């Protein structure tokens, strides 16, 4: 006899379509009991895009919501038992309204409930449970953003500030280099000019010196010649 699905597996079936391709498990030489169907593996795929178009239905969140609702299942027949009855009618060729009506008849027989509002009431209660979980999740997201993303933003700003400071230092250093280069050019010019002046003065000195010495030597020669 096929193993009965858990409530969680039933919930999962409401939201995620299972791959109908079945893979038969490896058999052994041990004979099976007559009439026992072979056990199969069901491969589950999740590729449903969300309403905003920015992501996909995530298997881990599906499992989380299924577990959340399963642990919050109300006593007695309610929305999910009705949906299970409705899902069991799929593939019978009934129109949608006939499926809903037949499932309602089965649901009433299950728990003796005659008020249709029980379905919407319990469905809204499950929505409330999911909403509460969502609020808690979003609060955790905000905390994670503040802790991790906020820290990264602080690190980013500190790095940008450091780069800006170094860029200013580079500009200051470049300005100082440019000023020093101008100073070097001026000093080099001054060296050439002063060297030229000094060389000229030296040359003029030597010429003037020679002139004086030659004059004096000429006077000495004439004194010796004329007065001896």
d(CA 47, CA 17): 10
For residue 119, how many other CB atoms are within 10 A of its CB? 20
Backbone φ and ψ of 56, nearest 5°: -130, 160
Of 75, 77, 56, 80, which Cα lies nearest the Cα of 130?
80
Of 12, 102, 121, which Cα lies nearest the Cα of 60?
12
> What is the residue-level pLDDT of the chain in tens, covering all 228 positions?
333 444 444 455 554 454 434 333 333 333 333 332 222 222 333 444 455 556 777 888 888 888 888 777 777 778 878 888 888 888 888 898 998 898 888 888 877 677 888 888 888 988 898 899 889 888 888 888 888 888 888 899 999 999 999 999 999 999 999 999 999 999 999 999 999 999 999 999 999 999 999 999 999 999 999 997
What is the DSSP-derived secondary structure letter of residue 94?
-
What is the DSSP-derived secondary structure letter of residue 32?
P
Residue pair 61/44 in contact (Cβ under 8 Å)? The answer is: no
pTM here?
0.48
For residue 75, how many other CB atoms are within 10 A of its CB? 5
Of 94, 126, 138, which Cα lies nearest the Cα of 15?
126
Number of helices (H), then strands (E), belonging to the chain: the values are: 6, 2
What is the DSSP-derived secondary structure letter of residue 92?
S
For residue 80, how many other CB atoms are within 10 A of its CB? 20
């Amino acid at each position: 006899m096929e193993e009965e699905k858990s409530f969680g597996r039933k919930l999962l079936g409401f939201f995620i379509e299972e791959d109908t391709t079945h893979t038969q498990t490896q058999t052994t030489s041990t004979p099976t009991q007559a009439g026992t169907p072979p056990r199969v593996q069901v491969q589950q795929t999740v590729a449903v895009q969300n309403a905003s178009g920015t992501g996909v239905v995530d298997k881990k969140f599906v499992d989380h919501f299924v577990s959340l609702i399963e642990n919050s299942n109300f006593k007695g027949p309610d929305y999910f038992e009705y949906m299970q009855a409705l899902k069991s009618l799929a593939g019978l060729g009934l129109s949608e309204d006939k499926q809903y009506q037949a499932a309602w008849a089965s649901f009433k027989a299950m728990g003796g409930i005659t008020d249709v509002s029980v379905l919407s009431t319990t469905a809204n209660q499950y929505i409330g449970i999911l909403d509460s979980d969502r609020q808690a999740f979003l609060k955790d997201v905000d905390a994670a953003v503040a802790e991790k993303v906020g820290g990264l933003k602080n690190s980013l700003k500190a790095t940008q500030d450091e780069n800006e400071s170094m860029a200013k230092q580079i500009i200051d250093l470049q300005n100082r280099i440019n000023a020093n280069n101008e100073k070097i050019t001026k000093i080099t010019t001054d060296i050439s000019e002063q060297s030229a002046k000094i060389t000229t003065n030296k040359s003029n000195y030597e010429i003037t010196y020679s002139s004086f010495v030659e004059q004096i030597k000429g006077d000495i020669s004439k004194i010796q010649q004329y007065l001896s």
